[in-house]
Amino acid sequence: MSRYRRWRQPGGTYFFTVVTHERRPILAGPEAIAWLREAMDNTRATRPFDLLAGVVLPDHIHCLWRLPNDDDDFPTRWRMIKTRFTRSMLARARQPARPGASRLRRGEHGVWQRRFWEHVIRDERDLKRHVDYIHYNPVRHGLVGKAADWPYSTFRKYVEMNEYPDDWGEAEPETIRDWAIRHE
């Protein structure tokens, strides 16, 4: 079994990408968004973190979290969120993908990829680049023409905080153009 090393920093700010099993579009629609929001809220009640930015697309999530100063345990938080979402989905008789033999042996469902991508934010420039990447992601995937048109992101919050103009994201921002190509 592979052991993955993760850079863990107490009180750190992290960028995450979490993907559904086989990239199935199970996160499409308000019902799935509500289950995900509930899973995150319930997890934050026992394992706090600040959600700085986020976007939910049909088959994956990008988000930025800041953990408490004395805490670096983001893997447990993601396990709790994934588990809670899966239970909500199954409780409402939604069928995930049929899991393979390996997943069946482990008692897993075909809802999420086992792992996730994380990146420790290094400085303000890195933070800005990731926030822009998150908010522009629905446009990059061809889901909308501009960031303001995607309902499942923190983009509106950033507009209200005067971090972006309302028409931001009609074209790919320079902050992520070359960087995004290198990180795909």
Residues marked as catalytic: 152
Where are the extended beta strands (E) located within the chain?
13-19, 50-57, 60-66, 117-120
Q: Is residue 67 a contact partner of residue 11, using CB atoms and an 8 Å limit?
A: yes
Indicate the pairing of strand 117-120 with strand 13-19.
antiparallel
Count Cβ neighbours within 10 Å for each residue of 2-22 and write b for 16 or more, e otherwise.
eeeeeeeeeebbbbbbbbbbe
Pairing of strands 50-57, 60-66: antiparallel
Tokens of 168: 């931001």
Structure-block tokens of residue 46: 């026992």
CB 33 within 8 A of CB 56: yes
